Amino acid sequence: MKIIKYTLNLNRKFTTFLVVLAIAVSSMFMLVGCSTGDEDTAIDTTLSAQDINSESPVITPPVDHNVDINPDPLADSDKALSLEGYGAIGALTDENLTINDMLTYAVQDEYLARGEYLAIIDKFGDQKPYSNIVQAEETHLAYLEEIYLSYEIDFPDDTSAGHIIVPADLLEAAETGVQAEIDNIEMYELFLSYDLPDNVFEVFSALKSGSDSHLLAFQKQVNKLK
């Protein structure tokens, strides 16, 4: 009987030890998990603060797009070219827009934006958001060139130099950027109100999305410099 009692006591002690050990291990994992979560939160908070306090927001690239490389041919009326001006300003005053007109105005306005921002960088140095947005304008032009290639139309040359006005200071430069992007967005909104081929509609939508982001960047610069 003494042996049995002794064995039972050992079993109880061993069981108690296992329970205590299990609780300790569980607590350790909980502490590690909480610590990791806190670190992640700290990192996220730091990144958010950097984004908020940065001099210029991250420039969001245009949304993804799909271009049909073998679209239905454009009708002769859609291929007609009868421009009433240059870039967005020309497009917004043109009351007889064809698809070729729209594409040409879009290319002109993207050339103009790129040239304007390059001129600002040349005068004032490599400044944000201009350096970011110049790269985005290259992307905009590449998107449009895809459309021209799909229709086997010659891509327009850059004739923006005669339309570029270099601002006197950085505040005027930012204000110029704001107005340029407002006009550009309004132009694409006008184009998107027409019945367009799917590939043209997608590219115009993508470019408008990019310009929405650029407008926010320039507005932030204006607020900072005033």
Using one digit for the tens of pLDDT, what is the confidence trace for 67-101?
Answer: 767 888 999 999 999 999 999 999 999 999 999 99
Q: What angle do CA 140, 114, 107 make, to 5 degrees?
A: 50
Q: How far is CA 104 from CA 41, 95, 202, 208, 219, in A?
A: 49, 15, 16, 16, 27
Q: What is the pLDDT of residues 106-131, one digit of tens each?
A: 999 999 999 999 999 999 999 889 98
Least confident segment among 20-24, 27-31, 40-44, 150-154: 40-44
CATH numeric code, 60-225:
1.20.1260.10
pTM: 0.72
Q: What mean pLDDT value characterizes the chain?
A: 79
Q: What is the pLDDT of residues 189-213, one digit of tens each?
A: 999 999 999 999 999 999 999 999 9
What does the pLDDT read at residue 71? 84
Q: Do residues 163 and 63 touch, judged by C-beta distance below 8 A?
A: no
What does the pLDDT read at residue 70? 81
What does the pLDDT read at residue 66? 67
Q: Do residues 56 and 217 touch, judged by C-beta distance below 8 A?
A: yes
Q: What is the dihedral of CA 179, 184, 188, 191, to 10 degrees?
A: 100
What does the pLDDT read at residue 46? 29
